[in-house]
Structure 1
């Protein structure tokens, strides 16, 4: 005898789905408290001092006109950015300190890891620090790499579950969500304490124009001179942090050292990690590849004074500066120093951020800049160009008011930026903006990993260089002008006050009244999710 009538056949799939959801929810309740044991941090270590007879040190010091100045070279082309990193790795003799948010294990990422392995095999001390968010599916590869003598691999703010599925990793530790969503967004490579590359690029083919599909328009800067000890100090703060854990304490070694080394060799051989194609003879600024300049024993650098900042690794536990329990501004944070630079600007502000969500405070800073008579220009992704559409829902909450304030807004067109021969992404299927930079009053240049959004301000750690140099600022303004002429839509208010997008289509002036290059489905989805998008998490 049935207590309830039998379920109709057509409802069976829904019942099975409900059962699966119930089982998943129960599993998450039971496993959502997964955590790591305390005191996993590795032994402390410090950046090695530059050794005078190392080739990179000799080249850098030969170019330095004054011991108190730092040398810089902008790297706007992705293939040049990869060339610079591989050239520093290949020529390092003492040390490599490498810190990245995301290292993709495509052919480019594997080739990069193999280059680090080869450097360690030469006797170079290699310290590789990765954020743990995207490493869950790469444990076998990283374990094999970690068997290399002279190379140590550590992870920032590790997540207990090792899985390629990021959502599942978070679900398994739901009760620690606030800690786990705080990530290390820094990008830095320091070679022999003599030369460094910093900026916005992660490691992967799409950041270096090595794929035929999606590619990012980004910016790095090559650094030499007086700023190098400071960059080494910033790296050490993370390396020696209690929130950074050696891989060996998270992943049990799979086999003896020889077997793991052989496994790494097989995973990164030429069939899996072919050498990247050589860069063209000159970039947008007329420079030759860094590898060629190093081979010739010279570097084309612009010398200036500069400061470098990185957020405290204590952000992993929500650290906030305070005095007597009263919250204070963190004067060493990257966001604070960028905002203060904007506050001091009197004539012009150019801000380039792929993910642009100014928030009430950021909006007020820009409003005050306009009130002082400063020209304010913003460059960000259009809806079609963004790989984070949820961020776009928050950005557009501020867009109309920014236009009303007289702010010039240019949104990158994924189609036009990949179709212009004057831009580094010419020929790509899809082009996206990933550059994080600012030019203030035509003389202060910011280059770093910081997006102008709540995530970079409150949750992630970032690194940023502030360079006082009119020649470098002029180069960045020239790069921005080419982008604005060749690859963007200008957002303006129409006669009726509604937003319009002005640009060119097949050489003819075009005015659009909806989000450009986006399908009706993209626009509909944007409207559906916009009310539920938590701005503070973006």
Structure 2
């Protein structure tokens, strides 16, 4: 066979493989996927068939390994059995009619009950919240459960590490979880691991990608939760990681970027629910089920007690628990919806819920950052502004160089949701998240005051200004939007 014939047969073979890839993709990819997600994958494969199919084989499934999903189901059954009859909350101040079905939805999806008798305190200052968590660890007598997406030893966080070490030295059981890939991405990872090894605490990487140890799954399935539980009496959760507010990156420091976060300190029955999430994740990583440290429900005596419900979500669940909760609340709103999300890339269902609320005459406001730290997500987020503004949503841009990182929203004067979950496809489908639904006028009032503080430090974006932005920026935003649905 001469060279020309060989080249011809190679070309025929490649064309045939290309054709097969496209046909098989049309059959396989749309199965059990959102249309927009399937379309994004198909576009990638049709434009770059060989690269696209390799990416799909690596990133195409959003499910964790079956063993981890089985553990989640086991924990869910345990939680349902041990919390039977605990769905008890105060009905002082009439409940909105729409709340009980949503609480039942959360219970069915995530197993956690809605419980009353809780105290909740907001910590909107980065250093103050870190100090409050450090102080809580310093008072621990039985155990400390610390779980954070990013955990890094630096000058700002050193006192927290010292408190964990001191607690272990006085006989307190200290368990630490940190996400492997997320923590690895930031300066000081090796220093952090050395410190953990020397502290006398029990620690594990979450969702480790260590192929040589047969520990691997899809790389971008991450545990994004942030929580701390001390003695089953006090719990913290929210948006803040254990790292300096600059995230220690040279590029951030050069731009002057720093993160503004929000944590909430809970006391009362909800602490047991937050601890149950730690127990779940510890079991997933170690095969050790901490049933002896699953605490009983404890009410607290405070003036303005609130009802609260933990809603876990992520690829260990069949459904997108957080997205279902968010959409249910958005459609239930009667007067006002105020959202704060650092990464706002909604799926079609959420976009319809938000724009429908605004077009119905509700006061709908969105707080996002004027500046972005993740270019693709930042531009994908901007691609939604035109549709939101045209529907009547008011958009507030928190002024640079602060990255507004809290993740919460309020519905009327009744209900709030706070936690680790962004309003984007990554948080809906790919990340393990914690959300806490809180029902209480006092809590919502505090968030309203915080929202006003955001407003004072933001500028409002108007439609005419947005439509006048450069054509190149519009193209970049819309191209980035195509990546948002790939999962």
What TM-score comes out, normalization by structure 2 length? 0.67
For residues 469-508 of structure 1, what are the structure 2 equivalents within 5 Å? Answer: 469-484=440-455, 486-494=456-464, 499=466
The equivalent residue for 1:284 is none
CA separation in 1, counterparts of 2:463 and 2:373?
26
- In the alignment, is the contact (CA less than 8 A) between 2:134 and 2:159 conserved in 1? no
In the aligned structure 1, how far is the partner of 2:182 from the partner of 2:364? 36
Determine the structure 1 residue equivalent to 2:140: 92
- Find the counterpart in structure 1 of residue 380 from structure 2: 394
How many angstroms apart in 2 are the aligned matches of 1:434 and 1:244?
Answer: 31
Pick from 383, 386, 389: which aligns with 1:403?
A: 389
1:81 aligns with 2:129: yes
Alignment of 1:231 onto 2:233:
no
- Structure 1: give runs of 5+ residues left out of the alignment: 1-24, 47-66, 163-172, 247-297, 322-328, 415-429, 501-512, 516-522
Deviation at 1:389, TM superposition (A): 2.1
After TM superposition, the structure 1 = structure 2 runs for residues 435-474 of structure 1, keeping only pairs within 5 Å, are 435-474=406-445
Q: CA deviation at 1:431?
A: 1.4
- Whether contact under 8 Å (1:157, 1:244) holds in the other structure is no
Q: 2:349 aligns with which of 330, 338, 361?
A: 361
Q: Which residue of 1 aligns with 2:264?
A: 221
Following the alignment from structure 2 to structure 1, what is the Cα–Cα distance between the partners of residues 246 and 191? 24
CA RMSD of aligned residues (A): 3.6
Indicate how the Cα distance of structure 1 residues 493 and 81 shifts in structure 2: closer, same or farther if over 3 A, else same.
same
Which deviations, in whole Å up to 9, do the C-alpha atoms of 1:339-392 show, x marking residues without a partner?
A: 21112111110010011111212111112222443211111112xx21112112
Give the CA deviation at 1:299: 10
Residues 255-270 of structure 1 correspond to what in structure 2 (within 5 A)?
A: none
Distance 2:203 2:67 in 1: 17
Match of 1:196 in 2: 235
Alignment size in residue pairs: 364
Q: Distance in 1 between matches of 2:460 and 2:223?
A: 33
- 1:182 correspondence with 2:221: yes
Once the two structures are superposed, the pairs formed by residues 257-296 of structure 1 within 5 Å of their partners are none
The 1:387–1:144 alpha-carbon spacing in structure 2 relative to 1, beyond 3 Å, is closer
What's the offset of the Cα at 1:451? 0.6
| Partner SS state of residue 119, structure 1 | helix
Distance between the aligned counterparts of 1:440 and 1:244, measured in 2? 39
Kept in 2, the 8 Å contact 1:345–1:440? The answer is yes
Q: Would the alpha carbon gap of residues 499 and 73 (structure 1) be closer, same or farther in structure 2, given more than 3 Å must change?
A: same
- Displacement after TM superposition at 1:84 (Å): 0.7
For the structure 1 residues 225 and 491, does the alpha-carbon distance in structure 2 shift closer, same or farther, using more than 3 Å as the test? same
Aligned to 1:536: 485
- Could you tell me whether the CA contact under 8 Å between 2:311 and 2:436 is conserved in 1? yes
Alpha carbons of 1:528 and 1:311: their partners in 2 closer, same or farther (altered >3 Å)?
A: closer
Q: Which residue, 317, 326, 330 being the options, matches 1:342?
A: 330
Report the Cα distance in structure 1 between the residues aligned to 2:476 and 2:393, rounded to whole angstroms.
28
Residue number among 166, 170, 190 corresponding to 1:118 in the alignment: 166
Structure 2 SS opposite 1:376: strand
How far, CA to CA, are the matches of 2:247 and 2:372 in structure 1?
18
Comparing both structures, which one devotes a greater share of its residues to helix?
2
Deviation of the 1:300 alpha carbon: 8.1
Report the CA distance shift for 1:208/1:222 in structure 2 as closer, same or farther (over 3 A).
farther
Distance in 2 (alpha carbons) for counterparts of 1:195 and 1:301: 17
Matching residue of 1:292: none
- For residues 42-61 of structure 1, the aligned pairs below 5 Å read none
C-alpha distance in 2 between matches for 1:334 and 1:353: 14
**Residue 439 of structure 1: CA displacement?**
0.7
Determine helix, strand or coil for the equivalent of 2:229. Answer: strand
Deviates more, 1:525-534 or 1:299-308: 525-534
2:72 corresponds to 1:70: no
Give the 3 Å change call, closer, same or farther, for CA 455–343 of structure 1 in structure 2.
same
Say which SS state the counterpart of residue 446 (structure 2) adopts.
helix
Provide Cα deviations, 1:156-187, integer angstroms capped at 9, x if missing partner: 1101279xxxxxxxxxx9x97x7110111100
Distance 1:68 1:489, change over 3 A: closer
Contact 1:75/1:221 (8 A) holds in 2: yes
Q: Distance in 2 between matches of 1:196 and 1:490?
A: 35
Rounded to whole Å, the distance in 1 between the matches of 2:365 and 2:66 is 47
Residue segments in structure 2 that go unaligned for 5+ positions in a row: 1-50, 59-64, 76-114, 289-299
Classify the secondary structure of the residue corresponding to 1:206: coil
CA distance in 2, matches of 1:337, 1:487: 29
**CA 1:77–1:363: 2 relative to 1, 3 Å:** same
Report the Cα offset of residue 530 of structure 1. 5.1
Q: Conserved in 2, the CA contact under 8 Å of 1:154 and 1:245?
A: no
